[in-house]
Amino acid sequence: MNPRIQQIVAGLPRLKDLRKLDKEAEQRLADGDAVFVADLAIAVNAEAVGTTTPETWQYDAAYRFLLRLLATTPGRHHVEQTLRALVAPAQSDQKRVRFFASVLAASQTPEDLSPVFTGGGSGASEELRACLVHELALRQTPIDAIPAIRRWAGSTHWRHHPLGLLPPKLAAFEKDPALPQYSARRSVVATPFLSDSKAETVGGASHVPAATEVTVEAFSANVATAVQNWVEDSNGRVEARAFDLAAPVEPDALPELLRTLGLESLRDTGGQPAFPLARITAVQAWRLLFAAASSGGAYNSGHFGAYGRLHAWRSIAALVGTVAETSLEQLEQQVQAWSWFDFSGATPWFEKVAWDLGLVAVSPDSQHLTVLAATDTD
């Protein structure tokens, strides 16, 4: 082991902050010594895995910074060194692999990402490759122009991978996702959970048809997929319901109809005959689901882009009464044919902090509607 690396690793537990280490790593990289930075990351990670002392936060913090520094510095050589450090023998954290697929897709050109897909000597995991394909798709990166990526993405050997369900081509409704930008020290992402003030608000006197609840457990579970991380990893709560209507419902009658359905999320509308219900597009609905799944709630970081897309896909498919395995063309037609409405933050049920989601989907014949409401707080 490089004597300087050995010295750094031995002294890490005594450090109160890592600023000097960070600066040294940045200078090494600026001087063209990416190998040193990767070797240091590998050594730090190996020490972290081998230690039983709980007061060693320095190892994890140093390893994360060194990986981010490599991954966010443009260039094929930095990608290759990121792969060396990320697939070190002690590294088996799949969530970390998924995160760095997002970082690499945001920071590197597809040409420089080719080593991830060359197989053999690259050492990249199938999980990293699968995630990276969909991270690039979300960024509308032209991967077909890169032979190594095109060959791997078009192969059949990963069809049983969970992400193999998703087409590499984005659906018509998968537009303008909220995607993070990364640096060695920061991640920045805008979340679209606040209602769009430009959306058309609906409401008014109109006939309200009778409704019969048809919610089943499988429906609730599938619809809630995009926001389940708010519950499992944070302080969130979710409501997912489905109803058949005795007659078609007019958009202006929706607020009053929703008030009659016994929804927990709309139990208290302040005594008003109507409440804020905005007509939105299928694209806006998907963006909310994707943001909830990919960015997470108050106390977690979500599933990142690739799995965020998978979870949003499952939720939007269930909301329009189908399954995620539906073909791209069929799902596009159904999602675009349904009408979409937003009631985020309409009642005290919502925390009104930063993570409120309220969606209503109405079938093309206006005789079936589905609801997904979720909220989270810090």
Q: What is the mean pLDDT of residues 332-348?
A: 94
Return the pLDDT at 88: 64
CB 315 within 8 A of CB 235: no
Between 47 and 331, the higher pLDDT residue:
331
Does the pLDDT value for residue 193 go beyond 80?
no
Mean pLDDT, all residues of the chain? 90
Return the pLDDT at 200: 66
Does the pLDDT value for residue 198 go beyond 70?
no
pLDDT band at 154 (very low <50, low <70, confident <90, very high): confident
What percentage of the chain carries pLDDT values higher than 70?
92
Does the pLDDT value for residue 182 go beyond 90?
yes
**N- to C-terminal Cα separation, the chain:** 44
pLDDT band at 207 (very low <50, low <70, confident <90, very high): confident
Element (H, E) at 188: strand 187-188
Does the pLDDT value for residue 120 go beyond 70?
no
Q: What is the mean pLDDT of residues 305-324?
A: 95
pLDDT band at 53 (very low <50, low <70, confident <90, very high): low
Pairwise CA distance, residues 137 & 143, whole Å: 8
Return the pLDDT at 195: 54
Return the pLDDT at 83: 94
Return the pLDDT at 289: 97
Q: What is the mean pLDDT of residues 351-360?
A: 93
For 263-266, which contacts have Cβ atoms below 8 Å and span 24 or more sequence positions? 263/239, 263/371, 263/373, 264/239, 264/349, 264/373, 265/239, 265/343, 265/346, 265/347, 265/349, 265/350, 265/358, 265/371, 265/373, 265/375, 266/343, 266/346, 266/347, 266/349, 266/373
For residue 188, give Cα distances in angstroms to 23, 191, 300, 309: 22, 10, 14, 18
Look at strands 278-280 and 355-362 and give their pairing. unpaired
Return the pLDDT at 89: 60
Pairwise CA distance, residues 225 & 251, whole Å: 27
Question: Using one digit for the tens of pLDDT, what is the confidence trace for 311-320?
Answer: 999 999 999 9
Question: Using one digit for the tens of pLDDT, what is the confidence trace for 56-92?
Answer: 789 999 999 999 999 999 999 999 999 999 976 655 5
Return the pLDDT at 38: 97
Does the pLDDT value for residue 139 go beyond 60?
yes
Return the pLDDT at 336: 96
Question: Using one digit for the tens of pLDDT, what is the confidence trace for 250-302?
Answer: 999 999 999 999 999 998 766 555 578 899 999 999 999 999 999 999 999 89
Strand 200-201: give its sheet, edge to edge.
200-201, 278-280, 339-342, 355-362, 368-376, 237-245, 211-213
pLDDT band at 54 (very low <50, low <70, confident <90, very high): low
Does the pLDDT value for residue 227 go beyond 80?
yes
Give the CA angle between residues 131, 132, 134 to the nearest 5°.
Answer: 70
Take residue 253 and report the two structure tokens written for it. 């009658």
